[in-house]
Structure 1
Amino acid sequence: MSIVRREYSALAEEGGAARSALAALLDARGNPAQYAKTMYELGSILGERVAGAIPKSDSCLLASTAEDADYLTRGIYESLKLDHATKAAVFWNHHYSVPGGSIAPVVHKFLEPGYESSKTLVIAKAVISGSCVVRTNILELIEQVNVDKIYIVSPVMHAKSEQSLRKEFSEDVASKFVFIYLAIDSEKTSDGEVVPGIGGEIYGLLGLPDQPARMSFMPKLVKQLASF
């Protein structure tokens, strides 16, 4: 697949692991196991970068959608845990369109005990096409956690997403945002899908029949953390 109107960040240099993984992600469409493995690799790459930017003395709260939890988010989580006290929050967002835009209310959530003391918030998402899901998940946490920085982490973002998200918050909150990504795409389909993005809608690419909020889906990460 030819990639058009894509810009890479400094983290995805030509010939490097990040750019290779982005290409492998598109090639893995139709193979959920390979797709998941590649998304985990991208999470590890991004997680290493985020971990290096956060002082080792700072505790972290990593927030994720349920569909991203076991692959992208786990890659980030395992990188953060190497040097930082890290807690996890997982949200089941019911994402749907309404006249003039879309909304993504949280219908279920998992908050790992002790998350309230975190000093850094990390928001993970496989692809950011607008502000809807990320905005909702930040709002779910921002009044409960007094953080110094909010890292918004994704393999691929749409070119207008950062500006759109910043407009949704006060200057005091928006000034804490740090965006870490590998690629910026400028095109969208008529239904809002970023092109080439991550190759389509994440649910089907991971082998899920529907949004986790509409089905009895429990991420392995949540099972692991809830068992302690």
Structure 2
Amino acid sequence: MSVDERAYSRFANEIAKNALGDLLSSTNAPVQYQSAMKVLGRCLGDVLNQVLPARTKCLVASTAEDADYLSSGVLESLQSKHEALAAIFWNNHYSISSGSVAPIVHKYLQPGYEDADSLIVVKSVISGSCVVRTNILALIEKLKVGKIYIVSPVMHIKSEEALKSEFPDEIVSKFEFIYFAKDSRKDDSGEVIPGIGGQIYQLLGIGKQPAQTGYMPTLVRRLAAI
């Protein structure tokens, strides 16, 4: 599937489309890749600002690898109009015979998160349902949110239905998906094509999954004053 064939959503303006292209052209340049991902975060935050009720208290949940770029961009945009707190998860994502699992080995929850009105789950690319499902389940019983926004630059064409199938109708009715592009192909390792250009850890210059290396995002250091 070429970039020309991917399906763009109604939210994908020229800035977002250009940033998606920048991801694919900077797969060997981590600093440029980080910058493009931050731009996409701000763009997604701008879309959220258009759909969220005024002065919403938001909880922005992401993986540790997405915290400093995509998630930080979303937070920066949201905080211009709303109160936005962060929840960061270190997921150890791996395959098993029946699919994949992503247990949480560490987490950071910004104080006051329980009072959020809306949950915003951010991920750089949504290939299936595993990581997003795990992180929603880790939060949903402690929150009384009216909406759950699933937010990503790129989703696989089957991932929305896969995620919905993991939850009861009561929860699914709260879902709203906000993305810029949907792709229909995956490679042999399960990476979406063209997606975001490969595995996020290498592309950002992190190397491996943060759950396996002890990587600490700058966002968490700042919020927790570590």
Work out which of the residue numbers 94, 119, 144 in structure 2 matches 1:121: 119
Residue 67 of structure 2 is aligned with which of 30, 45, 69?
Answer: 69
Choose the corresponding residue for 1:142, options 140, 143, 146.
Answer: 140
Matches within 5 A, 1:12-27: 12-13=12-13, 16-27=14-25
Contact 1:203/1:209 (<8 A) preserved: yes
Which SS does the other structure have where 2:211 is aligned? helix
Q: Give distance in 1, aligned partners of 2:55 and 2:36.
A: 30
| Shift, 1:85, TM fit | 1.1
Instruction: Report the alpha carbon displacement of residue 4 of structure 1 after superposing the two structures with TM.
Output: 5.7
Residues in 2 aligned to 1:62 and 1:12: alpha-carbon distance in whole angstroms: 21
Give me the whole-angstrom Cα distance separating, in 2, the residues matched to 1:7 and 1:85.
32
Give the equivalent residue in structure 1 for 2:87: 89
Write out aligned runs for 1:7-86 (5 A): 7-13=7-13, 16-86=14-84
Query: After the TM superposition, which parts of structure 1 deviate over 6 Å for at least 4 consecutive aligned residues?
Result: none
In structure 2, what is the equivalent of residue 181 of structure 1? 179
Q: Which residue does the alignment assign to 2:130?
A: 132
Residue 171 (structure 1) aligned with residue 169 (structure 2): yes
Deviation at 1:52, TM superposition (A): 1.8
- 1:58 deviates by 1.9
Unpaired runs of at least 5, structure 1? none
8 Å contact 1:5–1:186 — kept in the other structure? no
**Partner amino acid for 1:212?**
P
TM-score (norm 1): 0.97
Write the deviation string for residues 99-134 of structure 1: whole angstroms up to 9, x where unpaired.
020000000000000000001000000000000000
Are the counterparts in 2 of residues 48 and 80 from structure 1 also a CA contact under 8 Å? yes
Q: State the TM-score, normalizing by the size of structure 2.
A: 0.97
Distance 2:3 2:55 in 1: 40
Q: Which residue of 1 aligns with 2:158?
A: 160
Amino acid at match of 2:109: L
* Alignment correspondent of 1:6: 6
- The secondary structure found in structure 2 opposite 1:200 is coil
Shift of 1:227: 1.6
What amino acid does structure 2 have at the position aligned with 1:12?
Answer: A
Aligned-residue RMSD, C-alpha = 1.2
Give 1:223's match in structure 2, choosing from 218, 221, 224. Answer: 221
CA distance in structure 1 between the aligned counterparts of 2:34 and 2:214, rounded to whole angstroms:
19
Give a deviation string over 1:159-212, Cα, whole Å, max 9, x none.
000000000000000000000000000000121100000000000000112100
| Number of residues of Structure 1 aligned to a counterpart in Structure 2 | 226
Task: Compute the displacement of 1:51 (Å).
Answer: 1.8
Alpha-carbon distance in 2 for matches of 1:80, 1:31: 28
Looking at structure 2, the residues matched to 84 and 115 of structure 1 have their Cα atoms a distance apart, in angstroms, of 14
Mapped partners of 1:159, 1:24: distance in 2: 21
SS in 2 for 1:138: helix
Q: Which amino acid aligns with 2:74?
A: I
Deviation at 1:5? 3.9
